[in-house]
Structure 1
Amino acid sequence: MKAKPLRRLFIGFLLMAVVSTLSVATPAHCGKCNIHLLTGSEYFYALRDAIDGAKHSIFLAIYLFKTDNHPTNRATGILNALLKAAKRGVETTVIMERSDDPESFINVENEKTGRRLLRAGARVYWDRPDRKLHIKAVVIDHHLIFLGSHNLTHSAMKYNQEMSLMLNDDRIASEIINKISRFPKTPFKRQP
């Protein structure tokens, strides 16, 4: 009987600690930005439309970008939008995860996608193999940000329970680009 009140007390203290840590560690500086929560398919349509509308730049850091040749594959739809953007002169930069195992599923899928992006004129980079790039971030034209749990896979954009935010904020966009750009990385080349 005494275990339940103690457990509730412990959970309460733990919750307070997490909330207070988040409020200190994650200051909100979003002034007049618009923030939209994107779940399920909403992410795919919003991101694809934003890439199609990009004028100057697209900056993308992603853990997994898995495409295929099926015409309804949503990750392939994002890839096609990126290829078109790069070909129309939009500066397109993509940083992808690379593990130290050249035959890992992540490496194989990211390499297939990276080769296509490189051929279209995008700047493509591998993250360091000794660190895990688990970020899922896109910044378009230095102000429109997509940040959340969505990998660029068909499953993430159609079936999985995922949540991401879309927001407009020049300062936060610059911070994201600057921080990720400082990560050690190597120019994309085919795995040995």
Structure 2
Amino acid sequence: MWPHFSQGNAVTLLENGAEFFPALASSIDHARHEIFLETYIFRDDRIGQMIADALARAAERGVSVSLLVDGFGSRDFVARRMDELLERGVRMLVYRRELGRLLLRRHRLRRLHRKLAVIDGRIAFIGGINIVDDHNTALPDHPRHDYAVMVEGPLLQPIHDSTRHLWELVAWASFRQRLRLKDTVPPRTDPAGNVKAAFVIRDNLRHRRDIETAYLRAIARATDEVVIANAYFLPGRRVRKALTSAAERGVRVIILLQGRVEYALQHMATQALYPALMRHGVRIFEYRRSFLHAKVAVIDGHWATVGSSNFDPFSLLLAREGNVIVRDQAFATRLRERLEHAMHDGAVELKPPHWRRKALLTRLFHWMAYGLVRVAIGLSGYANERLPRKR
């Protein structure tokens, strides 16, 4: 049965960089054999320097360190730090280094958006947190709000396999034969806990819709509550229909979205969808205390996911993504509590009357932004994909 769930895992929720970065750095410092790290953004700031130095120290003591970064999200880091890391023994590859002049060509827009690390084949980190100081924003007193998980147990097998496969693929595509892998540490798959979990990815071949399909199945089966927190939200018709259908059959559907304007066009395009969702009973909260970067969900108190995939065309149609799905009441309860705290502490619920009172010109701007996003996706070659239409 897909996706394949394994029993006997330990899955620990990590909230924000305050919990994630110390755990990652400590695991790197204690590594003895092998480190794989993939990330979309690796910034040369306080946190980036800390993790880069930890990787270099590991390489200098004989650990095989393989770092894969995206050529767009980490382009400044590549320019500033790659040569130094290579000199210190870190094996480093860049996923699609060149964007080219024709930015809307689909193959140029396919990015490495996963945030994933595997250390000694015994512990993995997966989530939405990039290697960047999450206090380095326009609101430095409050960090970006995000989540990751630390995984031990049988789930290390598919995670390790996927990480190794992607490294080999990029090495081959880059003609870096000297960076092809020979032997790697076999993952430790003995039971480490009692959590049932699965690893799902999105790529451009066999797993194009795996993450989206996992969400759709869980939402379709929901009987009580669907809670989704998403940084960038511009779902296609199937996802939007699943959410509104769930709300219409009496399921509480709550969506926590970015309330701070980070990318104005996408933010306005997302807001164009609010009225139709709210008319069907979907509750929408905007997180305004800081920047929301989460990509998580809890359904019916026992199904949860944490990963890198947003509900937007970039994640669902173009990027390489990775999510962990957990079927465990204790884990789901913990994540639900943290989301509830975030909504209570830093979010505002939007009500239909508020949007009905918006000036006609403002509503027009929202739909113009939405139309521009649709045009951009169409020009990139995805005009026939299932993007939402104005209703």
Q: Same fold (TM over 0.5)?
A: yes
Residue from 138, 158, 162 that aligns with 2:321: 162
Residue from 104, 121, 146 that aligns with 2:305: 146
Which residue of 2 is the match for residue 105 of structure 1? 265
Aligned length: 174
What CA distance in whole angstroms lies between the structure 2 residues aligned with 1:118 and 1:88? 14
Which residue of 1 is the match for residue 162 of structure 2? none
Which residue of 2 is the match for residue 133 of structure 1? 292
Matches within 5 A, 1:1-192: 10-12=57-59, 26=150, 31-40=193-202, 41-67=209-235, 75-100=236-261, 104-128=264-288, 130-183=289-342, 184-188=346-350, 189-190=354-355
Deviation string, structure 1 residues 89-142 (Cα, Å, up to 9, x no partner): 0011111002147x81242133123322211112111111x5111000111101
SS state of the match for residue 99, structure 1?
Answer: coil
What CA distance in whole angstroms lies between the structure 2 residues aligned with 1:140 and 1:8? 37
Unaligned runs of 5+ in 2: 1-53, 64-116, 126-148, 154-191, 203-208, 363-391
Shift of 1:8: 8.4
What CA distance in whole angstroms lies between the structure 1 residues aligned with 2:269 and 2:242? 18
What CA distance in whole angstroms lies between the structure 1 residues aligned with 2:55 and 2:267? 44
Shift of 1:58: 0.3
Contact 1:66 1:109 in 2 (8 A): yes
Please tell me the residue identity of whatever aligns with 1:181. Answer: E
Q: Which gives a bigger RCO, structure 1 or 2 (Cα 8 Å, sep 6+)? A: 1
Distance 1:8 1:165, change over 3 A: closer
SS state of the match for residue 281, structure 2?
Answer: coil
SS state of the match for residue 272, structure 2?
Answer: helix
Shift of 1:181: 1.3
Distance 1:46 1:86, change over 3 A: same
Contact 1:97 1:106 in 2 (8 A): no
What CA distance in whole angstroms lies between the structure 2 residues aligned with 1:65 and 1:164? 16
Which residue of 1 is the match for residue 100 of structure 2? none
Contact 1:65 1:109 in 2 (8 A): no
Unaligned runs of 5+ in 1: 1-6, 68-74
Please tell me the residue identity of whatever aligns with 2:59. Answer: G
| Stretch deviating more after TM superposition (166-175 or 149-158) | 149-158
Q: Which has the larger radius of gyration?
A: 2
TM-score calculated relative to the size of structure 1: 0.77
| Stretch deviating more after TM superposition (149-158 or 108-117) | 108-117
| Stretch deviating more after TM superposition (25-34 or 138-147) | 25-34
Deviation string, structure 1 residues 9-41 (Cα, Å, up to 9, x no partner): 6243798xx96xx89x95869843321111112
What CA distance in whole angstroms lies between the structure 2 residues aligned with 1:151 and 1:163? 11
What CA distance in whole angstroms lies between the structure 2 residues aligned with 1:66 and 1:80? 13
Shift of 1:83: 0.5
SS state of the match for residue 55, structure 1?
Answer: coil
Which residue of 1 is the match for residue 170 of structure 2? none
Distance 1:47 1:12, change over 3 A: same
SS state of the match for residue 65, structure 1?
Answer: coil
SS state of the match for residue 187, structure 1?
Answer: strand
CA RMSD of aligned residues (A): 3.2
What CA distance in whole angstroms lies between the structure 1 residues aligned with 2:248 and 2:199? 30
What CA distance in whole angstroms lies between the structure 1 residues aligned with 2:193 and 2:55? 37
Shift of 1:42: 0.6
What CA distance in whole angstroms lies between the structure 1 residues aligned with 2:195 and 2:218? 16
Distance 1:39 1:9, change over 3 A: closer
Contact 1:96 1:110 in 2 (8 A): no
What CA distance in whole angstroms lies between the structure 2 residues aligned with 1:52 and 1:186? 27
Shift of 1:45: 0.9
Which residue of 2 is the match for residue 72 of structure 1? none
Shift of 1:63: 0.5
